[in-house]
């Protein structure tokens, strides 16, 4: 293909991956960034997303106007006991993978992508294998410190493996390291543009005490019962030292409101309880001096890009214990605190107390967090995608 032909036709990107927001949103951000890059060069982009009908990507891709195709997939249910991996459900699902690969191969051959971008999740395996069969360059993106199961299976077939942290490099198989590139984890651009004053207005935080730091508590869109219970127990102690915005999940608000009824009026005015934080999230993050949250890859990417100190409560059941690895990585660097194993009121007080009373400590942790952030991760990932694409 000569240069004139290459520039006159649309660039074709096949995206695969999803199941959760951690795999879906980095891919979506990369698509948006690539589209903007090509548009600036006078070129257009055609995208096709291969995903699971049950995954988040099945809603996100069509909402973005991205054509969406599904293939049969097999999910591996992991266990610390290898014998439990040989379960009827795992055997049944693994038997579905060859059919999914054949379906994906037909899709890849028909679409003819210049490159395939896989962001993880079990649905990425059939499409990633199909890319190799069709001799299409494959770029993997890993959001967590350690390669996820799907990316481990595909790493040997990849033209490039994009990782989110330098600390991932020594954990890669030796044969894969030569193709590894540190890009960071793409962050939605709007997250980086928040304004603290807009959060005060939007949420009506007029009872907040300006001389005190503000803590944002979140367990994700549905909330996290473990975090909610911990913060509810800590409320009197916490509100004496800080203002609190608590995003608890829509189904948890009533119970927490009952717990808050007994608070003295002066403390209650510093507590804003909500089920969900939507478009105002960037402004809330701009207002927050400390965040209490899970330690999923997307959360970590946003908080480090912004340089916000955090106390992480890793989800113990996360795949491959990835949230604990993520949190430990930042804690070891002095860029966050982590409650792993002991998720109790005394543990929270020990981790959070010094941050609330010492502004200099918050500033130092914020700087170390920012050193781990990569706000230009989407641009870096697009560079990798373009560098390996079929010309």
Percent of the chain whose predicted confidence (pLDDT) is above 90 = 77
Q: 321 and 338: one domain?
A: yes
* CA gap 17, 140 in Å, rounded: 10
Distance CA 43, CA 37 (A): 9
Domain shared by 178 and 214, yes or no = no
Give residue-wise pLDDT tens across range 107-135. 999 999 999 999 999 899 999 999 999 99
Same domain? For 320 and 383 the reply is no
Q: Where are the alpha helices (DSSP H) in the chain?
A: 3-8, 21-40, 57-63, 82-85, 88-94, 97-111, 124-133, 149-154, 196-203, 225-239, 253-260, 265-268, 281-287, 297-306, 322-332, 345-357, 359-371, 377-388
d(CA 59, CA 285): 26
* Degrees to nearest 5, angle at CA 301 with 347 and 34: 170
Same-domain check for residues 138 and 257: no
Q: Which pLDDT value is given to residue 144?
A: 87
- Residues 168 and 198 both lie in one domain: no
Low-confidence ranges of the chain (pLDDT < 70): 1-7, 74-96, 319-320
For 135, counting Cβ atoms within 10 Å of its Cβ (0-12 exposed, 13-18 middle, 19+ buried), the class is exposed
Tell me: do 98 and 203 sit in the same domain: no
Domain span at residue 224 reads 189-371
pTM of the model: 0.85
Residues 179 and 215 in one domain: no
* pLDDT attached to residue 83: 52
Same domain? 262 vs 339: yes
Structure-token pair, residue 343 = 């998720």
Please report, for the domain that includes residue 260, its CATH number.
3.40.50.2000
Task: Tell me how many domains the chain contains.
Answer: 2
Q: How confident is the model at residue 316, as a pLDDT? A: 81
Structure tokens at 66: 């991205």
Both 216 and 164 in a single domain? no
The predicted pLDDT at position 149 comes to 86
Read off the pLDDT of residues 77-114 as tens digits, 9 standing for 90 and up. Answer: 454 555 555 666 555 665 667 888 999 999 999 999 99
């Amino acid at each position: 293909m000569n240069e004139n032909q290459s520039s006159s036709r649309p660039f074709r990107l096949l995206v695969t991956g999803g199941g959760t927001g951690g795999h879906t949103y980095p891919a979506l951000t990369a698509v948006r960034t690539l589209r903007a890059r090509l548009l600036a060069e006078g070129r257009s982009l055609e995208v096709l997303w291969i995903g699971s009908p049950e995954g988040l990507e099945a809603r996100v891709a069509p909402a973005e106007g991205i054509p969406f195709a599904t293939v049969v997939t097999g999910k591996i249910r992991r266990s610390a006991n290898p014998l439990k991996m040989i379960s009827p459900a795992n055997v049944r699902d693994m038997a579905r993978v060859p059919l999914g690969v054949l379906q994906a191969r037909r899709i890849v051959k028909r679409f003819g992508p210049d490159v395939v971008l896989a962001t993880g999740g079990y649905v990425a395996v059939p499409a990633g294998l199909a890319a190799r069969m069709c001799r299409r360059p494959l770029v993997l993106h890993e959001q967590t410190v350690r390669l996820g199961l799907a990316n481990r299976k595909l790493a040997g077939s990849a033209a490039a493996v994009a990782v989110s942290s330098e600390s991932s490099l020594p954990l890669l198989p030796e044969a894969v390291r030569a193709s590894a590139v540190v890009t960071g984890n793409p962050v939605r651009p709007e997250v980086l543009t928040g304004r603290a004053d807009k959060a005060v207005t939007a949420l009506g935080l007029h009872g907040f005490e300006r001389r005190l730091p503000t803590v944002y508590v979140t367990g994700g869109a549905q909330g996290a019962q473990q975090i909610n219970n911990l913060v509810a127990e800590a409320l009197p102690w916490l509100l004496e030292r800080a203002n609190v915005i608590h995003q608890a999940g829509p189904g948890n608000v009533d119970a927490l409101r009952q717990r808050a009824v007994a608070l003295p009026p002066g403390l209650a005015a510093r507590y804003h309880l909500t089920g969900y934080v939507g478009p105002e999230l960037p402004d809330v993050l701009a207002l927050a001096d400390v965040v209490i949250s899970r330690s999923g890859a997307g959360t970590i990417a946003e908080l480090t890009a912004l340089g916000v100190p955090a106390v992480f409560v890793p989800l113990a059941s996360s795949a491959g214990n990835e949230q604990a690895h993520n949190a430990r990585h930042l804690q070891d660097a002095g860029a966050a605190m982590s409650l792993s194993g002991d998720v109790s009121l005394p543990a929270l007080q020990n981790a959070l107390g010094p941050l609330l009373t010492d502004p200099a400590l918050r500033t130092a942790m914020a700087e170390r967090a920012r050193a781990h952030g990569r706000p230009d991760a989407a641009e870096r990932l697009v560079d990798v995608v373009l560098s390996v694409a079929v010309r």
